[in-house]
Amino acid sequence: MQPTAGHEAGGAGRSGDAALPAVVPSPGVPLEVPPLTRLDVHVFRAPIDTPVRTSFGTMTDRPAVLVRIEDEDGCHGWGEIWCNFPTCGAEHRGRLAASVLAPRLLGRAFPSPVDAFAALERETRVLALQTREYGPIAQAIAGVDVALWDLVARRAGQPLWQCLGAGGAQPRVPVYASGINPDGAVESVARAREAGYSAFKIKIGFDPDADRAVIERLAAAMGPGEGFMVDANQAWTPAQARRLLPALAEAGAGWLEEPMPADTPVDAWRALAGDSPVPLAGGENLATEAQFIDAADGGWLQVIQPDLCKWGGVSRCVPVARYVLGAGRRYCPHYLGGGIGLIASGHALAAVGGDGLLEVDVNANPLRETLAQPFPRVADGGMALSTVPGLGVEPDLDAAGSWCTLRLSQAVTDRSW
């Protein structure tokens, strides 16, 4: 899949003549972004008792970076910037949003959040090249984009899922319990089951024998109508991945996520997908439209998982999701962070439809619920999204105050436009 070191804007670098569908709102929904007057950044770190392990690193606390944007009428929206790794990175991303993006937003109006996204990408392109900070800058833009979509949906008086074109009654999105460490996995699954989940994803990629053992235990622990998936977090070579395929197939795993590094050549992904009886999943570490199009068209990823707080925001990830579905693949948004990004991911899934699942991290993280109130309850394997305009949630900043490590504000003083 080979993520390029590019800072793609608009349709640049797309595969052949393929193009992503536009974000088409519900009829009559205004998407204009009025002049923006204020941007606030809140960075949090919540302590946890049990670290969250992956094959490449461990989180010893739970960070979150929230962005609040306000327009000239006092309307506001919330977004979240991906910041899990490196463990020192949350404050840096918050400063990028305040020092790099705020000056390019405040005092300006845009025809839509999509246009604001394109402007930010275009105007930070050279900076990203100069600093080689493609990821952090893209993540900051993604978080700002989520905030702008929350703002325009609030102004339109519609929940974001409806604003993005989903019709019908209040949507209930299917969910799965994610982030489950291999140690005590069966016990973690039992707790998640009690909390309303019927699908579960386990972290593997630590040791081949231990991986096989936990896969066998999970398969034995599944009840009627339940299923599990595995995530290797880019741990293996193609040969190492192949060695685990028979065990995964025998256990009935729903998918194998990121078995290899995301920059492994496409031919290796294609060959592994051709040999695998288990669908391959990935996408959280793709970073251009062209990569998503190629993965969907080529079929070496059958489950495609963009993370709208890590790349693309709503403006890029909703079109990617619709393209993925049109190509006959499955869209399951990736997410592991605070509450705002999780709820935004749910709105994106509700808007595009399909048979995808919303990823919900079930590790201890007080920032998940505290930063998205009222937090929707999981029951019978699903989560019902709010009908309140926008994302339908607000962070409880008072309750989260003791975990705040950084607050930054930028505001317009001259409103002579």
Q: Where are the domains of the chain?
A: 36-157+397-411, 162-384
Domain covering 162-384: architecture: Alpha-Beta Barrel (3.20)
Amino acid 413: pLDDT = 79
Pairwise pLDDT comparison (21 vs 72), residue with the higher score: 72
Amino acid 415: pLDDT = 64
Q: How far is 321 from 66, CA to CA, in rounded Å? A: 24
Using a pLDDT cut of 70, give the percent of the chain over it: 94
pLDDT over 70 (residue 416): no
Pairwise pLDDT comparison (27 vs 239), residue with the higher score: 239
Please report, as a single letter, which amino acid is at residue 68.
R
pLDDT tens digit string along 291-305?
A: 999 999 999 999 999
Which sign, positive or negative, has the C-alpha torsion 328, 292, 305, 280? positive
Q: Mean pLDDT, to the nearest integer, of 335-359? A: 97
Q: In Å, what is the CA distance from 235 to each residue of 4, 206, 243, 277?
A: 20, 8, 13, 19
Angle among Cα 265, 266, 268 to the nearest 5 degrees reads 70
pLDDT tens digit string along 249-288?
A: 999 999 999 999 999 999 999 999 999 999 999 999 999 9
Please report, as a single letter, which amino acid is at residue 327.
A
Confidence class for position 414, pLDDT limits 50, 70, 90: low
Confidence class for position 165, pLDDT limits 50, 70, 90: confident
Amino acid 117: pLDDT = 98
Lowest mean pLDDT among 161-170, 262-271, 400-409: 161-170
Lowest mean pLDDT among 7-21, 146-160, 341-355: 7-21
Amino acid 168: pLDDT = 66
Amino acid 57: pLDDT = 87
Lowest mean pLDDT among 293-302, 363-372, 405-414: 405-414
pLDDT over 60 (residue 417): no
pLDDT over 50 (residue 3): no
pLDDT over 70 (residue 15): no
pLDDT tens digit string along 105-138?
A: 999 999 999 999 999 999 999 999 999 999 999 9
Closest CA to 281 of 339, 193, 336, 356: 356
**3-state SS, one letter per residue, for the chain:** CCCCCCCCCCCCCCCCCCCCCCCCCCCCCCCCECCEEEEEEEEEEEEEEEEEECCCCEEEEEEEEEEEEEECCCCEEEEEECCCCCCCHHHHHHHHHHHHHHHHHECCCECCHHHHHHHHHHHHHHHHHHHCCHHHHHHHHHHHHHHHHHHHHHHHCCEHHHHCCCCCCCCEEEEEEEEECCCCHHHHHHHHHHCCCCEEEEECCCCHHHHHHHHHHHHHHCCCCCEEEEECCCCCCHHHHHHHHHHHHHHCCCCEECCCCCCCCHHHHHHHHHHCCCCEEECCCCCCHHHHHHHHHHCCCCEECCCCCCCCHHHHHHHHHHHHHHCCCEECCCCCCCHHHHHHHHHHHHHHCCCCCEEEECCCCHHHHHCCECCCCEECCEEECCCCCECCCECCCCCCHHHEEEEEEEECCCCCC
The model's pTM is 0.94
Longest dimension (CA), the chain: 67
- How many beta carbons lie within 10 A of that of residue 51, not counting itself? 12
For the 36-157+397-411 domain, the top CATH level (class) is alpha beta
Residues 6+ positions from 59 with CB-CB distance below 8 Å: 48, 51, 52, 84, 85, 87
What does the CA dihedral 96, 99, 101, 107 come to, rounded to 10 degrees? 160
